[in-house]
Structure 1
């Protein structure tokens, strides 16, 4: 299928051929009929991409701050690679469309194949022929509403949420500053609510359009006509609300809002304009400044948007989806007229040319629609989507695939997110003796990006085809945590060597399913991405520390830090806790240093289970304490480790420096490059095992023990007591 994309580093726009997205549960696959270009928001993004690196930095100081923090935490080289990877990737455009349901995922019963729906979301309602859209981001079209008008649903919801934040009442007078697409819709929504509206915009054509659509008067911000209209309509008191729907770097809108507001009026920011509030003016009138966050309640909440968990209507009357449905209803009943806003309709094949004309100013438009080829939907069946350490049992071992010593190791990747593209694939691309055969993703663009950047021979959303390809030697599972166990199980049954990022499983049942696949197939060629045991600095420190003869004590402090709002790591209902996803790293490192697997786990937590203390007991009396904290300072090292035994001590300082005390003291030199946490060495070991048909770098029993111990942390927190790992070696 085709999709509009842009390279944020170069500014290049393209209509790219990408794989069709998969239809996941709790959502539908929609074939686009019309999608809307938001000439304000999207052209701002297109313009930013055309800036120099300095210009990009000036336009996004928030991202610059994140980059500087990453340099302090991860080093310059790793940060540069990560930033360059993000910049030099295709990003999607679009967030408002109407289309036909082509496939219905499991758990969806409110629409059927062939239904027309309006869709929202800058990750789900893209300028693409097909999109997967979760339940709370689509709404069925009311009878009689044209699909080209329904494509305005998302921007209509943005305007509607802004109006709701202003709390207008019958008889109020409102000022709308900025009469672009959002401003024109705000004017109509206010007029439909019984509010008299004055509009402000320097473009006479937009002022004239707003008056035709219901504004009482409109004019240039510098003209006296606007001030006179406000004075006449309000008896000189000033407007009840001001809606800022303007963009740009001028502070004129907020200054005008203060002059024309009444005492204790409301100012609602809907667009993205400069907000240097003149303190005296706002203080003297005690103006109520409010922000309108996109489409409405539910926005940026992954449980609402991705998992389909609605808010009870008794507590949240107007959510994203209910705003969308309300706007569609108003348009269907003729209370909102979007047809006059349509300046141009372009065929989707002409998308790149259309963007370029808008950017160059050749095409003057309030709203532009892309029209897609008409294809009838095809009906497709919905796809359904004391802790015991399980004993590893194998049937007759499956022979390792016979390979030519000169032939390349052929790899397939399932998933191509940030970790895969920044930490794994850079070590594999262009490597002698390795061939990147295929990349599989559920979202089309990520597969196309990975193919373009790293040289995969193919990109697809068809996992079964890749697992059934006899030329593929090994499969990398680098997806979200909730899918790891099932994808690993399928790949093992297909006879592939498997490299799965941590965690291997989120529940005991998932772990049991993986081991059942090992037993059924005899294929135990599995590696979990516990890379720290392969870190060169830590391996050198362990070598110099030497073997232990008596009980050892290990302390591991992990300064994990806060997650950004909206991170999928926060989706504990589906993806497990943060420690469930990341804790295996630290348990595996402790077990490797102590040369044993834990026999019991005791965990305590601060309120909210954000900061954990995990105590692991090992055979022979050794213990390891892992302090996993999210409330530490950002400038403090992420990982520090101390191992003490037999009168000796090993210290690791965030993979930058290591030292051994006792007998002959050893201190490493500071690494000349970024922190090396072992990813490359881990991949080297895995590839050697695959190439030679040799055992995997880490015994399966150890991987299982680490996973079981990680799962036992949750059980210990629930019980408030130590948990014995029954069956531990």
Structure 2
């Protein structure tokens, strides 16, 4: 299937063939009939992409700071890879569309094949022939619905949320500042609700369009003579009950103008992208105005549980969610209480999408809404897409399932270039990522179906997906008789671990987890120095806080930071002392969100060694992130951020300092592939991997039992 993409680095826009999207749990596959171009949001994205690197940097100072921070901590190589991944990636465009359901995922009950639907969401409701959308970002339409109008779904829901935040009653008044698509739609919704609407815009054409279609009761340009007095007269001398700012500008004029025209104790709702640094006097303070933000489509937006898991908020407690806002907007269209047909001033066939965006950027002629129309008679294929002419196979034939930021920065670039190593296929959730990774790293194809990367041409699978799918993909790979490398953790459930142990015993294939730190050059030197005597070890991690709504903190998807990250450090201590963990106790600092991400862990090992892991999310980022101390038979050592190693023994301490941090990713991938080439074995024993994974589970158990020591 075909999708519109753009590279952030070059600004190149192209419609390209990408793999058919995967239908995940709680998702529907939709064949698009129409999608809408948002001149504001998408237009600014396209304009930014077409700027020089300096221009991009000026527009994104926060991202420039992140690059500088990465450079300081990880060095130029990792920083370069991270930046180029962003610049070279195929970025999908679009976030509002309508079409028909052609496939439903597991657990979906409210949709069926053939339903007409409207969809929303950046990364989901793209400009593409086929899209995969979570159920809470998709609404069912009446059979007779006009799909071109319905494709305004996202924009309508955003405007609807702005109106709801204004909380107006029948007969009250509202000024809408900015009569672009969002402001125009907000005015239509307000008018249908019995609110007196006054529209303001810097463009005479935008005001004229609103007046000509009876969208506003009064339309004025911002620079009209006596504009404030006219608004005061229209509101019987009181001022507007509410002001909705739907403009997009860096100027403070909209927020200060809103203060001037709102009545005392009125509301000002920010719907567009404007600064809010208003002047305190003479209006905002004296009128005791209320400033409110409208968060996109409404409650549920940016909530992983709502959007990705499809768990709805109970209607009696959250009357208007983002999905219910979409449904309300579509109901206005179906019942013809609002008419938006005239908003589509331009319609382009999908294969002419680039010309449509050229119009948005150049503004060579007036436009309001721009619609892309799709050829729905075209057959859609799930076949894999060839990205290389190579067909030969070697001794190690690698396919990737998942290929996100970590894989692109640390795994894929480090696969050895050898005649006996073949890069076969790539499978990811998004077709754009699959295609770009397959092309950049010279794989033979990118795919939609798991069977394509688990067939006889692949004998080694790299799993680099979100944590919740690690266990299932490792199991499927073993059952398909493949060697498997999985980015940590191995799995999130003890039942998955049991199944993996059994499957590995049957397949007798190598299983490797991405515990890279043990492969760091400084770790190699440290282990050689401390030897095999029983030792005491301290590993302190200044991990920093991660918001509770981040996917890694979600118990079902990310497993939390103990299963998702602390396993790294358990493995490291296991490797250093050379024996398996036998007992563990752990206690976590109480926190309001019960994240268990600030904790101390004490581990006992078979050879008598002991190790303490201090994993802290409550510290300062200015401090070194990872620090290790080891004490053994008269020798002590410290390792700081995998850049500096100090050995203390007889005489003067010996110091080794690297120019750049090296956590061993390259050495790890090389060791894994070379192990398969030599004898089909992984460089970490399966016994160690199982023990580390079990210990991670037992850490959670010990915390639940009040820090009690637990046998592993």
Task: Output the TM-score relative to the length of structure 1.
Answer: 0.92
* 1:214 to partner: Cα distance: 2.5
Q: 1:270 to 1:429 in 2, by over 3 A?
A: farther
What's the counterpart of residue 529 of structure 2? 544
1:535 aligns with 2:536: no
1:553 aligns with 2:540: no
Q: How does 1:4-83 map to 2 (within 5 A)?
A: 4-83=4-83
Say if 2:463 and 2:470, in contact at 8 Å, map to a contact too. yes
Q: Distance between the aligned counterparts of 2:444 and 2:654, measured in 1?
A: 45
What's the counterpart of residue 478 of structure 1? 464
1:595 aligns with 2:595: no
Q: How does 1:205-244 map to 2 (within 5 A)?
A: 205-211=205-211, 212-224=213-225, 226-244=227-245
Q: Deviations over 1:591-634 (max 9, x none)?
A: 01111111111111112222111111112432111111111111
1:675 aligns with 2:658: no
* 1:107 to partner: Cα distance: 0.7
Matched residue of 2:302: which SS? Answer: coil
Q: Distance between the aligned counterparts of 1:7 and 1:566, measured in 2?
A: 29
Pick aligned residue for 1:457 from 428, 440, 444? 444
Q: 1:429 to 1:226 in 2, by over 3 A?
A: farther
Name structure 1 gaps, 5 residues minimum. 381-404
What's the counterpart of residue 402 of structure 1? none
Q: 1:21 to 1:477 in 2, by over 3 A?
A: same
Q: Distance between the aligned counterparts of 1:431 and 1:159, measured in 2?
A: 56
- How many residues are matched? 697
Larger mean Cα displacement after TM superposition, 246-255 or 431-440 = 431-440
Q: Distance between the aligned counterparts of 1:702 and 1:546, measured in 2?
A: 19
What's the counterpart of residue 519 of structure 1? 505
Pick aligned residue for 1:349 from 351, 374, 384? 351
* 1:187 to partner: Cα distance: 0.5
1:506 aligns with 2:507: no
Pick aligned residue for 2:475 from 476, 489, 503? 489
* 1:285 to partner: Cα distance: 2.1
* 1:234 to partner: Cα distance: 1.6
* 1:345 to partner: Cα distance: 1.2
RMSD, aligned α-carbons: 2.0
* 1:510 to partner: Cα distance: 0.3
* 1:565 to partner: Cα distance: 7.0
Say if 2:271 and 2:294, in contact at 8 Å, map to a contact too. yes
1:328 aligns with 2:330: yes
Larger mean Cα displacement after TM superposition, 712-721 or 36-45 = 712-721
Say if 1:612 and 1:628, in contact at 8 Å, map to a contact too. yes
Q: 1:655 to 1:324 in 2, by over 3 A?
A: same
* 1:667 to partner: Cα distance: 3.0
Q: 1:239 to 1:220 in 2, by over 3 A?
A: same
Q: Distance between the aligned counterparts of 2:379 and 2:214, measured in 1?
A: 36
Say if 1:20 and 1:130, in contact at 8 Å, map to a contact too. yes
Say if 1:429 and 1:454, in contact at 8 Å, map to a contact too. no
* 1:457 to partner: Cα distance: 1.6
What's the counterpart of residue 306 of structure 2? 304
Larger mean Cα displacement after TM superposition, 46-55 or 568-577 = 568-577
Q: How does 1:184-203 map to 2 (within 5 A)?
A: 184-203=184-203
What's the counterpart of residue 420 of structure 1? 407
* 1:563 to partner: Cα distance: 2.4
Q: Which has the higher contact order (CA 8 A, sep 6+)?
A: 1
What's the counterpart of residue 437 of structure 1? 424
Q: Distance between the aligned counterparts of 1:647 and 1:12, measured in 2?
A: 61
* 1:438 to partner: Cα distance: 1.0
Q: 1:406 to 1:376 in 2, by over 3 A?
A: closer
What's the counterpart of residue 128 of structure 1? 128
* 1:423 to partner: Cα distance: 1.0
What's the counterpart of residue 641 of structure 1? 628
Say if 1:74 and 1:675, in contact at 8 Å, map to a contact too. yes
What's the counterpart of residue 367 of structure 1? 369
Pick aligned residue for 2:564 from 569, 581, 602? 581
Q: 1:501 to 1:174 in 2, by over 3 A?
A: same
Q: Distance between the aligned counterparts of 2:152 and 2:293, measured in 1?
A: 22
Task: Output the TM-score relative to the length of structure 2.
Answer: 0.94
Say if 1:5 and 1:13, in contact at 8 Å, map to a contact too. yes
What's the counterpart of residue 316 of structure 1? 318
Q: Deviations over 1:349-388 (max 9, x none)?
A: 11112111221223432111111112499999xxxxxxxx
Larger mean Cα displacement after TM superposition, 341-350 or 539-548 = 539-548
* 1:245 to partner: Cα distance: 0.6
